[in-house]
Amino acid sequence: MLSAEEKQAIEAEFPHYEQKRAVCIEALRVVQKRRGWVSDEALREVAAFLEMTPDELDNTATFYNLIFRRPVGRHVILICDSVSCWIMGYDRIREHLTKRLGIALGQTTGDGRFTMLPIVCLGTCDHAPAMMIDEDLHRDLTPEKLDAILANYP
Ligand code: FES
């Protein structure tokens, strides 16, 4: 069941759009923010609330790679996997994270602390290589900087 708080947060978006279904991305983000990811059950609840079919909503949810349809760690690392970052050291950053965390792209650490995912250009190419952890952008990355950055995410 969607909580009263989730319903309220979703309903707050309704006045901005002509149709309930137009709120679907925002609604999925509301649920994900509180639950960490969007389960099948949660997807069905949101779909019913927005008067959509679960399939319609799932098509949208799976199109956006920032809607997580599988459980993720407490912190999600989005490592930029686009051309400027490739040129500026993407491989070194990915390899360092893989070694440090013991996971490959698409995986979650055994303690549930981090999930590491690729993402397209983060729009900060002049400070490549770059990544996001949760809502935070990290730029001009070097392997040396990574350990200090990770320590800020318990
Ligand atoms: S290519 Fe990585 S920030 Fe643009």
Each of the 154 residues of the chain gets a pLDDT tens digit; together they read: 899 999 999 999 999 999 999 999 999 999 999 999 999 999 999 999 999 999 999 999 998 888 999 999 999 999 999 999 999 999 999 999 999 999 999 999 999 999 999 999 999 999 999 999 999 999 999 999 999 999 999 9
Q: Provide the token pair at 54.
A: 């679960």
Pocket of ligand 1 (CB under 6 A): 80, 82-85, 121-122, 124-125, 128, 130
Q: Cα(31) to centroid of ligand 1, in Å? A: 28
For the chain, give percent helix, strand, coil, nearest 5: 50, 10, 40
Q: Cα(20) to centroid of ligand 1, in Å? A: 34
User: Which has the closest alpha carbon to 32: 79, 77, 72?
Assistant: 72
Q: Cα(85) to centroid of ligand 1, in Å? A: 5
Query: Whole-prediction pTM value?
Result: 0.87
User: For 76-101, how does the pLDDT look when each residue is reduced to its tens digit (9 = 90+)?
Assistant: 999 999 999 999 999 999 999 999 99
